């Protein structure tokens, strides 16, 4: 029995790059068996009129797609007519889930003798790690134009410059087709570290090197930091600086996701990327339309109150169009935050996660 074409396979927020003006805007995406629809949110409510669609038949997928330095969670879709679409997820897990579901949908649209378009890179089988030249791999990684992008990162209250995370290394090796799977990329990264081409930076990666086995000491983790060896430090040295903002952002990431937040002054609703951290417990939010890696706001969760708001009528203090799934956070300083989740289940998940860290 064939899947009905109007069946919703997956839906949620992704940030899409425009075709004419290359700005990034959050859109609500709905994956169906033969197409991907996207909608705009008007204030706090989804627009009933779709803004566009991407036909999936013979559509090629590249994930991870790493051409955007400050956007490591992008999926690239290329339609059979050669039109490229760039979509950014809120986390590595969400990116991989979306890419996997889209790839599965495109595979089902190919008949027994259908045209074979490019598959999702991370699903290719086989191995190509034998007789690999680590020096050439390192030179490619270090290339200032197409190599790994270095930046500032945080670990346990310290800010490190000119480094990168373990998951960025794994993403880059897969994207560059130097490894066919994440497992292969992890093996290759471990070999580079064994040869001291890559060095651990910060407590997490150093501890992993000290305690793990020889084949497992490199971490496919967005919070484990690494740098190039001293012999390759012409592009900048690793420095550690401690600041109050660094301490706020140094906690372990517990949860990430796109939520709607009401502004304090204009009372308008905007999609924000929320990141919940522990030790110390903070909730930060980012503007997904900007390339800036710094949050636009955030607050300590100490002594915060979080509560679900009913969807019958508009609660006091809430303005504009409301989709529903509302909850409120009151900080220790008595600042009120009104937030909408995409679904009832996500609202309850966020409330539970926040309560565990207040």
Domain at 221, CATH number = 1.10.10.10
The confidence score (pLDDT) of residue 119 equals: 47
Share of the chain above pLDDT 70, in %: 83
Question: Has residue 282 been placed in a domain?
Answer: yes
Question: Has residue 2 been placed in a domain?
Answer: no
Identify whether residues 237 and 272 lie together within a single domain: no
| pLDDT surpassing 60 at residue 72 | yes
85 compared with 48, residue with greater pLDDT: 85
The confidence score (pLDDT) of residue 139 equals: 86
Instruction: State residue 210 phi and psi, 5-degree precision.
Output: -75, -35
Entry pTM: 0.71
Distance CA 294, CA 286 (A): 7
Question: Has residue 1 been placed in a domain?
Answer: no
Identify whether residues 89 and 177 lie together within a single domain: no
Distance CA 189, CA 180 (A): 13
The confidence score (pLDDT) of residue 165 equals: 92
Question: Has residue 57 been placed in a domain?
Answer: yes
Q: What's the rounded mean pLDDT across residues 252-278? A: 91
Please say whether the beta carbons of 333 and 358 come within 8 A: no
Identify whether residues 232 and 332 lie together within a single domain: no
Share of the chain above pLDDT 90, in %: 42
Question: Has residue 185 been placed in a domain?
Answer: yes
Q: Which domain holds residue 292?
A: 251-355
Please say whether the beta carbons of 358 and 306 come within 8 A: yes
Identify whether residues 95 and 138 lie together within a single domain: no
**What is the Cα Rg of the chain in Å?**
22
The confidence score (pLDDT) of residue 231 equals: 56
**Helix residue ranges per DSSP H, the chain:** 92-109, 134-142, 166-175, 182-194, 203-211, 244-248, 344-355
How many domains, the chain? Answer: 3
């Amino acid at each position: 029995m064939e899947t009905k074409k109007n069946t919703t396979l997956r839906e949620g927020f992704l940030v899409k790059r425009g075709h004419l003006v290359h700005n990034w805007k959050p859109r609500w995406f709905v994956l169906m068996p033969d197409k991907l629809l996207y909608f705009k949110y008007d204030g706090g409510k989804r627009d009933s009129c779709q803004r566009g669609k991407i036909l999936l038949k013979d559509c090629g997928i590249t994930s991870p797609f790493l051409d955007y330095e400050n956007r490591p969670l992008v999926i690239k879709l290329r339609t059979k007519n050669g039109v490229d679409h760039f979509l950014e997820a809120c986390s590595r897990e969400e990116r991989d889930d979306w890419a996997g579901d889209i790839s599965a949908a495109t595979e089902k649209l190919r008949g027994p003798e259908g045209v074979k378009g490019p598959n999702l890179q991370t699903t290719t089988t086989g191995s190509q790690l034998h007789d690999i030249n680590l020096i050439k791999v390192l030179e490619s990684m270090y290339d200032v134009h197409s190599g790994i992008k270095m930046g500032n990162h945080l670990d346990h209250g310290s800010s490190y410059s000119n480094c990168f995370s373990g998951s960025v290394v794994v993403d880059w090796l897969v994207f560059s087709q130097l490894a066919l799977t994440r497992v292969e990329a992890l093996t290759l990264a471990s070999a580079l570290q064994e040869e001291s081409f890559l060095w651990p930076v910060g407590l997490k990666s150093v501890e992993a090197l000290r305690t793990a086995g020889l084949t497992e000491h490199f971490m496919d983790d967005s919070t484990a930091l690494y740098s190039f060896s001293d012999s390759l430090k012409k592009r900048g040295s690793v420095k550690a600086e401690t600041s109050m903002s660094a301490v706020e952002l140094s906690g372990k990431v517990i949860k990430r996701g796109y939520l709607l937040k009401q502004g304090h002054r204009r009372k308008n609703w905007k999609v924000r990327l929320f990141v919940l951290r522990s030790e110390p417990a903070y909730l930060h939010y980012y503007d997904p339309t900007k390339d800036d890696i710094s949050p636009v706001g955030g607050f300590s969760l100490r002594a915060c109150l979080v509560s679900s708001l009913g969807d019958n009528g508009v609660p006091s203090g809430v303005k504009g169009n409301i989709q529903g799934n509302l909850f409120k956070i009151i900080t220790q300083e008595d600042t009120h935050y009104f937030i909408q989740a995409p679904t009832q289940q996500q609202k309850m998940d966020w409330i539970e996660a926040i309560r565990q860290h207040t």
